Amino acid sequence: MLAGKRILLIIGGGIAAYKALELIRLLKGVGASVSPVLTRAGAEFVTPLSVAALAGEPLHQDLFDLTAEAEMGHIQLSRAADLVVVAPATADLMAKMAGGQANDLASTLLMATDKRVLIAPAMNVRMWEHPATQRNLRSLLADGILSVGPDHGDMACGEHGPGRMAEPRAILAAIQTALSDGPLKGKHVLVTSGPTHEPIDPVRYIANRSSGQQGTALAAALRDLGARVTFVTGPATTPPPPGVTVVKIESAREMLAAALAALPADAAVFAAAVADWRVKNEAGQKMKKQAGQPLPVLEFAENPDILATISRHAGRPPLVVGFAAETEKVVEHAQAKRARKGCDWIVANDVSPATGIMGGSENAVHLITAGSVEDWPRLPKDEVARRLAARIATELTGKPQ
């Protein structure tokens, strides 16, 4: 897959820089060529000689290299690659990228490139969790930057938590995904995600505990298989993935309108936790507590059934997948829901508080079709997403993934 591909590898200044040497070896082993860029800080952790020797190509370090810059070397470097990879991507490099700085060779290359960029963040756990780093990450993802990791684990500084750079083989897999057309190329998939907020008055609403993490992971997995993804999301705590068309909504009625507007599609996956009811007597002004007055009474009306509406729509996608979050009789309720709604598949899970699934990082699902029930083990939500995306690709293309 990577044979003949050229990777521009920017090595930032962190203890994880040593992993970049293994990444170079892996890339060369699958036939890619590596053009290495070593930052001044990176050279404090790995030597220029070791990087250049493994890459088998000249090492680039200086923005003001007179020979290279006579030919606008930094422009050529940034454009000649098929993919730009930053590993490790330090907090400083991420801040420069998010802020559009270009004051050294690495940051100038990142500003000048017209190719996709993949970062592998690596830093101390406190630096990773700092609001500025998370703000920069959100900005980079919104700009379409791809990211892999970081992993959880022990740090060189003695702390434990998220911040370890992804392992070289994981980065290699992310590079392969970034440069792959994928089996879903040319296919359009609609994905809904997150909760809906149903207003009580201008400042209050009814909602649920959905984080949007599973829907977001699924949209990313479908994107990675080459699909054009329309991602309709409620006000989730998980940011939308890069590389998809994002439509932000608040209420169930807005989500239905956005889903209908996204048609036609080859598949539609309704992972959102849509509120079943809305407040019928929504107040136009903030409801006030008044001493001696009776408590307000909320009247409810049923929200539109998005899954059933799309399943019965004249422009129905060939594959419609619903989700069923249950707290009892999970499979039985989900089977009944599939028949009642008219969708092709239902992905059912147990969201009882004891499972920790609602808002958590793992999921345990049952894939229910017209003729079978598959019980999947408890897995990270990213892995559930990859498995489901692969099944969707198989269904749409007729080829096992």
Q: Does the annotation list 64 as a binding residue?
A: no
Cβ neighbours for 345, distance < 8 A, ≥ 6 positions apart? 319, 320, 321, 322, 338, 367, 368, 369
Greater confidence, 250 or 63?
A: 250
Q: Does the annotation list 341 as a binding residue?
A: yes
Q: Whose CA is closest to 396, among 187, 207, 215?
A: 187
Q: Does the annotation list 323 as a binding residue?
A: yes
- pLDDT tens digits for 224-267? 888 889 999 999 999 888 778 889 999 999 999 999 999 999 99
Instruction: Please determine, for residue 67, whether its predicted confidence score (pLDDT) is greater than 60.
Output: no
Q: Does the annotation list 329 as a binding residue?
A: no
% pLDDT > 90, the chain = 64
Domains in the chain, CATH or no CATH each:
6-178 (3.40.50.1950), 188-397 (3.40.50.10300)
Residue 241: what pLDDT?
A: 83
- pLDDT tens digits for 11-21? 999 899 999 99
Residue 70: what pLDDT?
A: 45
Q: Whose CA is closest to 94, among 33, 17, 32, 10?
A: 10
In our burial notation (b when 16+ CB lie closer than 10 A, e otherwise), range 86-104 reads bbbbbbbbbbbbbeeebeb
Instruction: Please determine, for residue 200, whether its predicted confidence score (pLDDT) is greater than 70.
Output: yes
Q: Does the annotation list 115 as a binding residue?
A: no
Residue 370: what pLDDT?
A: 94
Average pLDDT over residues 271-284: 94
Residue 75: what pLDDT?
A: 73
Cβ neighbours for 160, distance < 8 A, ≥ 6 positions apart? 125, 152, 153, 154
Asked whether the beta carbons of 87 and 34 are under 8 A apart, the reply is: no
Kindly give the interhelix angle for 17-29 and 48-55, rounded to the nearest 10 degrees: 10
Alpha helices, H only, 188-275: 213-224, 252-262
Mean pLDDT, the chain, integer: 90
CA distance 210 to 216: 11
Task: List the beta strands (DSSP E) in 53-197.
Answer: 83-89, 117-121, 146-147, 151-154, 160-164, 188-193
Instruction: Indicate the length of the chain as a whole number.
Output: 401
Backbone angles phi, psi at 150, to 5 degrees: -80, 165
Q: Does the annotation list 65 as a binding residue?
A: no
Q: Whose CA is closest to 192, among 261, 100, 96?
A: 261
Residue 65: what pLDDT?
A: 62
Residue 274: what pLDDT?
A: 96
Q: Does the annotation list 145 as a binding residue?
A: no
Active-site residue set = 157
Asked whether the beta carbons of 278 and 299 are under 8 A apart, the reply is: no
Greater confidence, 401 or 344?
A: 344
Q: Which of 289-293, 332-336, 375-379, 388-392 comes out lowest in average pLDDT?
A: 289-293
- pLDDT tens digits for 98-137? 999 988 899 999 988 888 899 999 998 889 989 999 899 8
- pLDDT tens digits for 159-174? 777 888 989 998 998 8
Instruction: Please determine, for residue 302, whether its predicted confidence score (pLDDT) is greater than 90.
Output: yes
- pLDDT tens digits for 382-400? 999 999 999 999 999 988 7
Q: Does the annotation list 305 as a binding residue?
A: yes
Q: Which of 179-188, 258-267, 271-280, 282-291 comes out lowest in average pLDDT?
A: 179-188
Instruction: Please determine, for residue 68, whether its predicted confidence score (pLDDT) is greater than 60.
Output: no
